[in-house]
Each structure stands twice: as C-alpha cells, then as structure tokens.
C-alpha cells in the first residue's frame, strides 16, 4: 500500500509518497507567499495552503497506482491561528508561529493570569508565537472578527478538514496552543474561559496516529484515489520530524536545523522544568516530549549569506572556516526575538567581539556557532531535570552541512547521528498514516523498522573542551545585552 505525508511548512508544502516498506516513491514541493503587513507580523492565507496541497497531491500521484493509496497524514507549522465562520470560510489571514504582535497579550497571560497558573493548566507558559495569545489579540484588536468565530484551527488541521470534512487536531499540535491540558491530553476549561471561547469552537482531539475519517467523495474523485483513503490526524512539525527521525520512546533526542531550530527529547513520562524554559508537549507516539525551540536557526545563515554577504554559494563560504573553537567573534541568533529558553520577543541578533583583524570567515563561523550555542542553552535546561543524553539525530536543511554537524557535536558534546532519509515531517506524516492503516502496530515499531542511521559525528575531546570554554563566554552575552533589547526596539 501507499501512504502520503504532507508537511505544511512556512514557505512551502512538501508532499511525500511512501510504500509500506518505507521506500520513498516521490517528493513534490509547492511554494506559497508569506505576508508581513507590519514589522513583527507574519501571515498567510489558508486557501493558498490548500490550493498548493491539492496541486501537489495531483503531481505526487501522477505516476503511481492510485488504487494503492491507503492513508494520508500530516506534519505542519505549529501555533498558527486559523479562524472559520459558521460557513467554514476563513475569516482573516492566519497568524503564524513566528508572528510577534501578541506582546501585550503574553504579558497579560504570564503576569496577570500568572505563569504558575498557566503551567498548572497547560504545562507551559505564554510565548508570543502560541495560539492562545493570538486568540486574545483578535478578541482585543479585531472584535468584529472574534464575534464571527465558529471554529479555531491549526494550519495542518485546516488541510485535514478540507480533505475529510472533520474539524480535528492532534495532541502534539494542540499542545502548542496554550489551551490544551498536556498532562491529561484534553482541552483546558480554565484556558478556554480565559480566552473567551467554548469547547464547541475547538476541534476534536485525536492521537497523532488515529484516523479522523476518510477523504471526502469529491476529493477522492478529483485526485483519482479510493474513497476509503484514511485521513490521519498527524502531528506538529517537530513531533512529526521526530517520528521521521526515530525520536520516539524514552530518552531519545533530535536536533532540527530548519527555519527555526529545535532540540526535541522524547520521554515516556510527563515532566516540566521549573522555569518553563522548555515546552512540555504531548508526543505523536502516545507519550510526551520536551522541546527547546529557537525562532531563527538555518534562517540566520540564509540571512547572513543572502542579505549581508550576497551569495548563494554557502559551501564556499564555509570552506574558509578552519580554526574551530578559536573564534573571538560571537553571534546571538535572535533575529526574530527568541523563544527557548529566554522567551523574549525583544531579543535581537547581535555580533560581539570583532576587531580590525576579524575576517568574513570569522563572521560566518560566528553565525553557525551562535545557533549551536543557543541550542546548547536548551540542552542545559534538560540536563538540569536529570535527563542524560549522549547522542542525537539531526535533520533539517542546516544538517546537510558537514561543518555545522561537527560544530553541533562538539559544542553540545553529543554523538550526532545522520539518518538515511532526511525528509523530516513529511516522512513522519507518512509513517503515522502507515500506523493508522495497520501497516505497523505502533509508532515505535514503524520508527525501528524504517529509520536507518548512515553515519555518526563523534565529538573530539580536545575540540569539545575548547568549545566548552567558548560556551561559558557565550552564555554571559545575552544577560548583559538584555537591558539594551528593552530600549532598542
């Protein structure tokens, strides 16, 4: 049988076709625009997502035996706010995960409602990108739109609804809304009351590997697939990527170097750090995970290369970098503010340590190292909970760089495993579809059989020691700059 994984990303939707043995038959990508109506705002039109998904599905299935398609599932950008009216029409453009307009609403949630109560209700505190403050923003700033809301959805779930007719979400994606009781895997009555919404306005919650229904007859006809094709709940992009990299079960780790950067630690037990520096979410495998998320990772390198240096030859720039662990230039990678572990939308990208002999290569090196150092900040929080990690998988566009992988291994002092298929959330979505259709008995079995490690970067003790010294310097820079970020806006 054949299974489809749909990764609804920030810049494009990526669609993957996989057979039951895990062989990837075809991959298709379709782009759509992103809008920045005001500084710090970030929006997309959900109709664009669906149009490009349908075009992508037609291209994906054009050369296969369509009668063999059994299931379709999703990974997708988290935290976005999609609001529908009584006719299930989109009311306004979706507010995305990297939208920073909800500063006042976050301040209200964290400091008036209180972080302790938020953590009690949802296992998390408020971040500007989360969905609950976005709902409050619409309530406060666009009351006429708030009054029209019949359904509140997340980005990938809008696609699932358009394909199945079911208003659904999954536990991992719902965990990032700040309306979900993560420990008990249900909507929080207290948070619904705080946001002024009802449970009827929220989607039904499923485990990531559960089918929500079948494709609508008109969708089946348009795509030429059986009406029995299951639409499966899927997962938020990071949980789906974790499935795709085999980061399921207890004590596994994955680092993602995408537009944003994450360190993802799977756990069979529910747990929260006392400062809520890491997100405590439900996982797609039926258990839980901790996640540190930085808003700008590979996008820092793209910004530096494309906008500042003015080159597309990333590899050539990295070739000039020779002396690891000896750079005197540091970079704070907070180009979009920062989430984990600082939770500061006012944080900004910062270079420090330049002298007259600083080179272009030093600056490039600082950008790559800055991202790795910032990921280490979240790893240190996990360590403080008694979590012991010795190795990690790695995925995302930035993971294709051997130099960056070497930096990650030595800055974090972890063994870094590369995997055969670098398809992240799209592959995870296809695997969840396969589990829902009975191809595998559970997510762990699918990961064990389908995810293959192709190589490992081992930390070098001497280099790791040099980077340990540099990290101790790096972690003092943000506290020193923090007061300035409140002034420089």
Cα separation values, 10 from 126, 235, 307, Å: 21, 15, 19
Per-residue model confidence (pLDDT) at position 15: 98
276/70: higher pLDDT: 70
Cα separation values, 448 from 168, 248, 249, 254, Å: 28, 9, 10, 15
Structure tokens belonging to residue 158: 């809008």
pLDDT band at 118 (very low <50, low <70, confident <90, very high): very high
Per-residue model confidence (pLDDT) at position 243: 96
Q: What's the mean pLDDT in 202-206?
A: 98
Q: What's the mean pLDDT in 256-262?
A: 89
Q: What is the pLDDT of residues 298-318, one digit of tens each?
A: 999 999 999 999 999 999 999
Tell me the C-alpha distance between 247 and 358, whole Å: 40
Q: Do the beta carbons of residue 368 and residue 378 sit within 8 Å?
A: no
Asked if pLDDT for residue 489 goes beyond 80, the answer is: no
Per-residue model confidence (pLDDT) at position 339: 85
Q: What is the pLDDT of residues 318-357, one digit of tens each?
A: 999 999 999 999 999 999 999 899 989 899 999 999 999 9
Q: How far is CA 75 from the centre of its chain?
A: 9
DSSP-assigned letters across all residues of 173-211: HHGGGT-EETTTTEE-HHHHHHHT--GGGBPEEE-TTSE
Helix, strand, coil tally for the chain in percent (to 5): 40, 25, 35
Per-residue model confidence (pLDDT) at position 423: 83
Asked if pLDDT for residue 422 goes beyond 80, the answer is: no
Q: What's the mean pLDDT in 232-252?
A: 93
Per-residue model confidence (pLDDT) at position 345: 84
Residues 6 or more apart in contact with residue 255 via CB below 8 angstroms:
261, 262, 263, 264, 375, 392, 393, 394, 395, 399, 408, 412, 416
Per-residue model confidence (pLDDT) at position 240: 95
Q: How many Cβ atoms from other residues are within 10 Å of residue 23's Cβ?
A: 10
* Torsions phi, psi for 69 (to 5 deg): -70, 125
250 assigned to active site: no
Asked if pLDDT for residue 376 goes beyond 80, the answer is: yes
Tell me the C-alpha distance between 1 and 98, whole Å: 37
Extended beta strands in 195-268, E state = 204-206, 211-214, 230-232, 235-236, 253-257, 261-267
Asked if pLDDT for residue 395 goes beyond 90, the answer is: no
Ligand-binding site membership of 23 (annotated) = no
pLDDT band at 398 (very low <50, low <70, confident <90, very high): very high
pLDDT band at 282 (very low <50, low <70, confident <90, very high): very high
Q: Which entry of 99, 157, 181, 237 is annotated as an active-site residue? A: 237
Asked if pLDDT for residue 444 goes beyond 80, the answer is: yes
Q: What's the mean pLDDT in 13-18?
A: 98
Ordered by where they begin, the domains of the chain are: 2-238 (3.30.420.40)
Tell me the C-alpha distance between 84 and 130, whole Å: 18
How would you classify the pairing of strands 415-419 and 391-395? parallel
Per-residue model confidence (pLDDT) at position 388: 86
Per-residue model confidence (pLDDT) at position 424: 82
Ligand-binding site membership of 79 (annotated) = yes
Question: 467 burial class (0-12, 13-18, 19+ CB within 10 angstroms)?
Answer: buried
């Amino acid at each position: 049988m054949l299974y489809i994984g749909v990764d609804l990303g920030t810049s494009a939707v990526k669609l993957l076709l996989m057979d039951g043995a895990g062989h990837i038959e075809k991959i298709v990508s379709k782009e759509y625009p992103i809008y920045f109506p005001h500084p710090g705002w970030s929006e997309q039109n959900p109709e664009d997502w669906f149009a490009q998904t349908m075009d992508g599905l037609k291209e994906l299935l054009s050369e296969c035996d369509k009668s063999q398609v059994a299931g379709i599932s999703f990974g997708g950008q988290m935290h976005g706010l999609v609001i529908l009216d009584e006719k299930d029409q989109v009311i306004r453009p979706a507010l995305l995960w990297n939208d920073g307009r909800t500063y006042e609403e976050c301040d209200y949630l964290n400091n008036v409602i209180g972080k302790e109560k938020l953590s009690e209700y949802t296992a998390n505190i408020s971040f500007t990108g989360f969905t609950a403050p976005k709902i409050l923003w619409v309530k406060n700033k666009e009351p006429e739109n708030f009054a029209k809301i019949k359904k509140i959805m997340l980005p990938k779930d809008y696609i699932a609804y358009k394909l199945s007719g079911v208003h659904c979400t999954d536990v991992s994606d719902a965990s990032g809304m700040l309306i979900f009781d993560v420990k008990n895997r249900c909507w929080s009555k207290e948070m619904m009351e705080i946001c002024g919404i009802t449970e009827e306005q929220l989607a039904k919650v499923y485990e990531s590997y559960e089918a929500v229904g079948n494709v609508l007859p008109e969708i089946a006809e348009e795509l030429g697939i059986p009406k029995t094709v299951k639409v499966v709940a899927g997962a938020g992009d990071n949980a789906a990527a974790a499935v795709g990299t085999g980061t399921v079960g207890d004590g596994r780790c994955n680092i993602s170097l995408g537009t944003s950067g994450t360190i993802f630690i799977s756990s069979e037990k529910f747990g929260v750090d006392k400062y809520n520096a890491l997100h405590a979410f439900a996982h797609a495998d039926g258990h839980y995970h901790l996640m540190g998320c930085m808003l700008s990772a590979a996008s820092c390198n793209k910004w530096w290369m494309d906008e500042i240096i003015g080159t597309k030859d990333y590899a050539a720039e990295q070739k000039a970098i020779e002396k690891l662990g000896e750079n005197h230039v540091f970079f704070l990678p907070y180009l979009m503010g920062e989430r984990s572990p600082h939770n500061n939308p006012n944080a900004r990208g910062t270079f420090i340590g330049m002298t007259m002999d600083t080179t272009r290569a030093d600056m490039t090196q600082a950008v790559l190292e800055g991202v790795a150092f910032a990921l280490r900040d979240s790893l240190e929080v996990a360590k403080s909970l008694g979590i012991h990690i010795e190795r990690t998988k790695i995925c995302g566009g930035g993971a294709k760089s051997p130099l960056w992988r070497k930096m990650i291994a030595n800055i974090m002092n972890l063994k870094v495993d590369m995997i055969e298929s670098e398809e992240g959330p799209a592959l995870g979505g296809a695997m969840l579809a396969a589990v829902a259709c009975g191809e595998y008995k559970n997510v762990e079995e699918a990961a064990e059989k389908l995810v293959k490690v192709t190589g490992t970067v081992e930390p070098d003790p001497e280099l790791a020691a040099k980077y340990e010294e540099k990290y101790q310097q790096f972690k003092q820079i943000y506290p020193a700059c923090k007061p300035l970020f409140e002034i420089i806006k």
